[in-house]
């Protein structure tokens, strides 16, 4: 099933379109020291290799921001500068040719400074992401989630109105908190009021385990409400993991056909071989960055432990294996094509994806 997206303005970030019916793009953020251009470029290249479409880099000072030109020359995806506190650094980022500025207007200084920044962004024809983050607002945990969401949205709208008064509409908006319910409410409320593209995220969501669950729940609900034009899954982990999770999140919701979809059963006493090991090794192989270009294809693969649900699920997938004690039955588009020894499953499935 494909959803009808909430219609937003279309904004260009480098050569990637955000909003206005464009595919939901995947972003991540580097965690190298941006004073070190070499290691930052290296990490961005790795992110490109796993499917990141826009990358954000934090530039905390002048030494780092002066690397923008060099970084941009060596990467293939749009570069977003994350700037806080000092608008002079933001001005330098624009001068260096960055593709978008992300600022939290609550910490960049008085309104006049914010407007000057918008004027320079307009001259350079680049968008600004108004990134409101609950951490920078005066809110209390004892306030109801709806009230907190309203404070976030009203803050964003105050700054957007200021930009609009200065004829600047090249805007993307994020309204992030670390609380799922508040974040969902904020995005829903904002969409009732303005039609700028939405950058989604649950901020500070945690490690690979907790952050993946929290982000999937939060972003999943927002996406199910037809909202969201670009996203970052924020994890306390290697940013490569953020991109992997984002890929599979969009894949799971059929919002983008990114990479293989794997269906596998939980196993039970009917399963007579180590399916858990097979599936985990297969997944490791398929989602490994070194195999990304070779195996990242939109194919649906079922790996099932026995003939009870196995053939049914395997038939609904593009390919599937329904297991037996020593060998499994391989299906292609619902038809049995051969028997495969259990020890050969991974090799066989990899071969199938490679030639899909
Ligand atoms: S497919 Fe078979 S082995 Fe897997 S959970 Fe179902 S009954 Fe058990």
138-190 pLDDT, tens digit per residue, is 666 657 777 889 999 999 999 999 999 999 999 999 999 999 999 999 999 99
pTM: 0.93
Q: What is the pLDDT of residue 142?
A: 59
Pocket of ligand 1 (CB under 6 A): 265-268, 270-271, 304-306, 308-310
Mean pLDDT, to the nearest integer, of 24-41? Answer: 98
E strands, the chain, are 11-13, 16-18, 25-29, 54-58, 79-83, 100-103, 128-133, 171-176, 199-200, 230-232, 261-264, 300-304, 319-322, 327-332, 335-341
Q: What is the pLDDT of residue 1?
A: 46
Could you please state the CATH topology (level 3) that the domain comprising 11-252 is classified under.
TIM Barrel (3.20.20)
Q: Which of 2-11, 136-145, 161-170, 343-352 has the lowest mean pLDDT?
A: 136-145
pLDDT, tens only, 109-135: 899 999 999 999 999 999 999 999 887
CA separation, residue 164 to residues 92, 157, 212 (Å)? 23, 10, 36
- The whole-angstrom distance between residue 213's C-alpha and the CA centroid of its chain comes to 14
pLDDT, tens only, 38-60: 999 999 999 999 999 999 999 99
Q: Between residues 73 and 312, which one has the greater pLDDT? A: 73
The superfamily in CATH containing domain 261-354 is Sulfite Reductase Hemoprotein, domain 1 (3.30.413.10)
- The whole-angstrom distance between residue 28's C-alpha and the CA centroid of its chain comes to 7
CA distance 175 to 329: 49
Report the DSSP pairing between strands 100-103 and 128-133.
Answer: parallel
CA distance 102 to 120: 14
351, two tokens? 């071969």
Q: 200, 161, 197, 221: which is closest to 7 by C-alpha? A: 197
Q: Which residues contact 344 (CB under 8 A, 6 or more apart)?
A: none
pLDDT, tens only, 78-90: 999 999 999 999 9
Q: Hey, whose CA ends up nearest to atom 2 of ligand 1?
A: 306
| Phi-psi category of residue 77: left, alpha or beta, with phi > 0 → left and psi -120 to 50 → alpha | beta
Predicted confidence (pLDDT) at residue 307 exceeds the cutoff of 80? no
**Is the Cβ–Cβ distance between 27 and 47 less than 8 Å?**
no
Local structure of 91: helix, strand or coil: helix
Task: Write down the domain spans for the chain.
Answer: 11-252, 261-354
Substitution site in 263, 309, 323 for ligand 1 pocket (most atoms within 8 Å of beta carbon) = 309
CA atoms 260, 233, 185, 5: torsion sign: negative
Mean pLDDT, to the nearest integer, of 288-302? Answer: 89
E strands, 95-214, are 100-103, 128-133, 171-176, 199-200
Which atom of ligand 1 is the closest one to the Cα of 309?
Answer: 1
pLDDT, tens only, 207-240: 999 999 999 999 999 999 999 999 999 999 999 9
Q: What is the mean pLDDT of the chain?
A: 92
Substitution site in 305, 320, 331 for ligand 1 pocket (most atoms within 8 Å of beta carbon) = 305
């Amino acid at each position: 099933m494909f959803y009808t997206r909430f219609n937003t303005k279309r904004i260009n970030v480098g050569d990637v379109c955000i909003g206005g019916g464009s595919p939901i793009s995947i972003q991540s953020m580097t965690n190298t020291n941006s004073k070190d251009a070499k290691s930052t470029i290296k990490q961005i290249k790795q992110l490109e290799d796993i499917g990141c479409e826009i990358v954000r880099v934090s530039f905390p000072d002048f030494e780092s921001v002066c690397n923008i030109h060099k970084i941009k020359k060596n990467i293939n995806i749009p570069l977003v500068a994350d700037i806080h506190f000092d608008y002079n650094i933001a001005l330098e980022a624009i001068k260096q040719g960055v593709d978008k500025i992300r600022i939290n207007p609550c910490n960049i200084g008085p309104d006049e400074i914010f407007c000057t920044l918008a004027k320079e962004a307009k001259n350079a024809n680049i968008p600004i992401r108004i990134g409101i983050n609950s951490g920078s607002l005066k809110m209390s945990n004892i306030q109801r989630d709806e009230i907190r969401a309203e404070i976030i949205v009203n803050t964003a709208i105050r700054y957007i109105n200021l930009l609009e008064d200065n004829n600047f509409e090249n805007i993307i908006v994020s309204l992030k908190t670390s609380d799922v319910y508040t974040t969902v409410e904020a995005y829903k409320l904002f969409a009732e009021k303005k039609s700028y593209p939405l950058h989604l995220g649950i901020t500070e969501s945690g490690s690979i385990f907790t952050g993946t669950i929290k982000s999937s729940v939060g972003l999943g609900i927002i996406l199910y409400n037809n909202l969201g034009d670009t996203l970052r899954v924020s994890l306390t982990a290697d940013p490569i993991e953020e991109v992997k999770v984002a890929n599979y999140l969009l894949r799971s919701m059929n919002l983008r056909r990114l990479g293989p979809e794997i269906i596998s059963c939980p196993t039970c006493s009917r399963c007579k071989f180590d399916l858990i090991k097979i599936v985990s090794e297969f997944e490791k192989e398929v989602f490994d960055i070194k195999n990304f270009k070779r195996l990242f294809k939109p194919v649906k693969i079922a790996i099932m432990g026995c003939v009870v649900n196995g053939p049914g699920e395997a038939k609904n997938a593009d390919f599937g294996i329904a297991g037996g004690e020593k060998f499994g039955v391989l299906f292609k588009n619902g038809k049995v094509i051969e028997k495969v020894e259990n020890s050969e499953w991974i090799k066989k499935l990899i071969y199938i994806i490679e030639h899909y």
